[in-house]
Amino acid sequence: MSIKARALPMTREEAGHQDLDVILVTGDAYVDHPGWGVSAIGRWLQDHGFTVGVIAQPDWEDAASFQVLGRPKLFMGITAGNMDSMVNHYTASRRIRSNDAYSPGGERGLRPDRATIPYVSRARQAHPGLPIVVGGVEASLRRLVHYDFWQDKIRGSILLDAKADLLVYGMGELAIVEIARRLANGQSITACRDVPGTAYALGAKESVPEGDDVTVLPSLAECKADRRGLNKVTVHMYRESNPHCGRTLIQQHGSRYVVQNPPTRPLETAEMDRLHELPYVYTPHPCYRKPIPALTSIAGSVTVNRGCSGGCSFCALTIHQGKDVTSRSTESVLREVAALPKRKGFNGIVTDLGGPTANMFHMRCESPAANAVCRRVSCLHPIRCKHYGTDHKPFLKLLRAARKLPGIRRVYINSGIRYDLAALDPEFVEELAAHHVQGQLSVAPEHASPAALQMMRKPNIEYFDDFMRRFKASNEKANKEQYVVPYFQCAHPGVGPTETIELALYMKASGLRPRQVQMFMPTPATIATAMYVSSIDPYTKKKVFVARGDRERSRQRALLFYWKREEWPHVREALQTWGRAELIGKGPKFLVPPGPAYGAWKFWKRSKGSVRFDTHMGLKVERASGAEEEEQNWSALSAPGKRT
């Protein structure tokens, strides 16, 4: 059906004073763009014949804020936004962030902590008896027992905390339309409990599902009594995440049970095309007078796929978007790229043609029979599955066609690439360097220690070194000076003093100087979080080292900035504490010169929190020349120069 390209209504006047079928509530400012989950779901429902409105960043203390569009005919859908609200609010050191990229003008404080819970409470007050469906990243990853890093406690399902009727987990397009159809046909919300990709809470007197296709998880009480129970929960969540063979999961919460249905299937290519070619206006709702920073950062970008086959232990992509990568057709992507010159402010540069992992475009399991029974967390770790296709030709074809379109001056790839896959195709690396890098290319080796990389489920550092050599050779062939921007991480479970020093020595030997480092943050439902909580690898059952508290975590961070003058006292304190004082001295074999030593946490107290750890994943680095003195002034190092 043809729909005039305008934003979804946010007021009764915009809705034509009609009662809408569905009202969506979000903790983000409303931007009509497929990168905003509430917009994609809203447009998808609209395209299937339902009328939809949006309430963005309502006052969570005032039920009237949830009545501005009236009472929906079918249900109210609630999401905290594109991010977990706690990740949105706090850094990895549990300090309040200074801004919110998904709010007008970057203003923080426009959504509450654990936003899903108070939103549902106010919606209940505003519309008694109305079916409430929750979804998005926050609800999806908290659907069962989970660890809350900010409270340092095991919490139960968000379904019970929020008192929602139904939870849609993962990418919810198929489930949400099925729910809307059933309710429109006169069925009750409880009749929707068998929809794949949903979870629900049973009443105290309702019977519990049984059968061979049902797995009973450790209860909330068991997980609180023994944190190793969270390991079992996490393993089963990943084990049953394949929509082709996933089982029903049930978990006891006191006198009640939470039931998770098997996952819904991923969208097919034609459905992905349909979703991304709906009549978005690609701008914030006209009510906003300040820019939305998150939109500015993705202006001119085009999404080509979703999902990730990597299965990194610290990443929630596998459990939320799925292990199966779903890609748009080349024709659909090219139609969107061709339409970019018509957008206001477009300068001819496609800032990113990618997704969670850009070069996984149309990579998939090539054996339907194997995929139907697969329970692997990753297609690439510890070794690449023999059934996993790694052909870069579809992506190369897309890139070549995109950069030839009228009005397109450049096509760049700024979402990360999987370097171990890229190195399998020399032609792709050469073309990447020649046409699609804007001076710097982001990759994520994360660490250098084999033990740390094993815990992270990342490829050995030799793959990164090999890619660096290939990329350098490709730049020389293209007569370009371009550099890799690697992401490194500290304080991940399994990363102790030995692994941290190993990474620092690798950086020094390689001439890498990080500008920013990601400090590990235990977010709900990841394998790494289970390790952080229990100090045990959920799969090998072996004990792992866990850096806890500012003291140990800041020591690791300091080592990765061994070359910064202001970090030298912290590095010395860490090396002395860890029994590696032999690395303090003057000369190429030492990390820092002699001098005073004190801990970074003391610096925290003196500065009263005015300096904070940066948890963003942008990591600029410089290559140091062999003759460069370690005492060189930091102001000189921060000046423009060579980067690798």
Query: Which residues, including other chains, have CB under 8 Å from residue 107's CB and lie 6 or more apart?
Result: 99, 100, 290
| Between residues 379 and 625, the one the model is more confident about | 379
Lowest mean pLDDT among 4-13, 20-29, 70-79, 253-262: 4-13
Could you list the residue range(s) of the whole structural domain that residue 586 is in? 440-449+471-644
> How far apart (Å, rounded) are the C-alpha atoms in residues 42 and 48?
10
In order of 61, 92, 495, 498, 530, the CA distances from 550 in angstroms are 34, 10, 15, 18, 20
Cα 454 → chain centroid: 20
SS3 track for 285-331:
CCCCCCCCHHHHHHCCEEECEECCCCCCCCCCHHHHCCCCCEECCHH
294 inside domain: no
555 inside domain: yes
Classified as helix, coil or strand, 428 is helix
> How far apart (Å, rounded) are the C-alpha atoms in residues 97 and 111?
13
Tell me the per-residue pLDDT of 310-342, one tens digit each, with 9 for 90 and over. Answer: 999 999 988 999 999 999 999 999 999 999 999
The stretch 603-616 carries a mean pLDDT of 37
Is the model's pLDDT at 607 over the cut of 90?
A: no
Residue 602: per-residue pLDDT: 57
Question: Dihedrals φ, ψ of 465, to 5°?
Answer: -60, -40
587 inside domain: yes
pLDDT, mean over the chain:
91
> How far apart (Å, rounded) are the C-alpha atoms in residues 76 and 127?
9
pTM over 0.95: no
Residue 514: per-residue pLDDT: 79
> How far apart (Å, rounded) are the C-alpha atoms in residues 88 and 99?
9
For 244, the token pair is 């082709």
The stretch 65-69 carries a mean pLDDT of 98
Q: How confident is the model at residue 638 (pLDDT cuts 50, 70, 90)?
A: very low
Is the model's pLDDT at 492 over the cut of 60?
A: yes
The stretch 205-211 carries a mean pLDDT of 93
Tell me the per-residue pLDDT of 137-155, one tens digit each, with 9 for 90 and over. Answer: 999 999 999 999 999 999 9
Tell me the per-residue pLDDT of 402-418, one tens digit each, with 9 for 90 and over. Answer: 999 999 999 999 988 99
Is the model's pLDDT at 629 over the cut of 60?
A: no
Residue 601: per-residue pLDDT: 66
Residue 609: per-residue pLDDT: 39
Rounded to a whole number, what is the distance in angstroms from the first to the last CA of the chain?
A: 50
444 inside domain: yes
> How far apart (Å, rounded) are the C-alpha atoms in residues 182 and 45?
13
Classified as helix, coil or strand, 148 is strand
Residue 4: per-residue pLDDT: 52
Is the model's pLDDT at 375 over the cut of 90?
A: yes
Lowest mean pLDDT among 336-345, 524-533, 613-622: 613-622
Q: How confident is the model at residue 624 (pLDDT cuts 50, 70, 90)?
A: very low
Residue 485: per-residue pLDDT: 84
> How far apart (Å, rounded) are the C-alpha atoms in residues 250 and 213?
11
| Domains held by the chain: number | 1
Is the model's pLDDT at 639 over the cut of 50?
A: no
> How far apart (Å, rounded) are the C-alpha atoms in residues 486 and 123?
44
581 inside domain: yes
Lowest mean pLDDT among 20-29, 225-234, 250-259, 514-523: 514-523
Give Dmax (Cα) for the chain: 78
Is the model's pLDDT at 630 over the cut of 50?
A: no
Is the model's pLDDT at 281 over the cut of 80?
A: yes
507 inside domain: yes
Characterize the bridge pairing of strands 256-260 and 301-303.
unpaired
The stretch 160-169 carries a mean pLDDT of 98
The stretch 163-182 carries a mean pLDDT of 97
Q: How confident is the model at residue 42 (pLDDT cuts 50, 70, 90)?
A: very high
Query: Which residues, including other chains, have CB under 8 Å from residue 185's CB and lie 6 or more apart?
Result: none
Tell me the per-residue pLDDT of 552-570, one tens digit each, with 9 for 90 and over. Answer: 999 999 999 999 999 999 9
In order of 246, 445, 522, 557, 625, the CA distances from 643 in angstroms are 46, 17, 31, 21, 11
Question: For 59-74, b where at least 16 C-beta lie within 10 A, e where not — what string?
Answer: ebeebebbbebeebbb
Query: Which residues, including other chains, have CB under 8 Å from residue 408's CB and lie 6 or more apart?
Result: 337, 338, 340, 341, 348, 350, 402
Is the model's pLDDT at 214 over the cut of 90?
A: yes
Lowest mean pLDDT among 64-73, 253-262, 349-358, 507-516: 507-516
624 inside domain: yes
The stretch 121-126 carries a mean pLDDT of 98
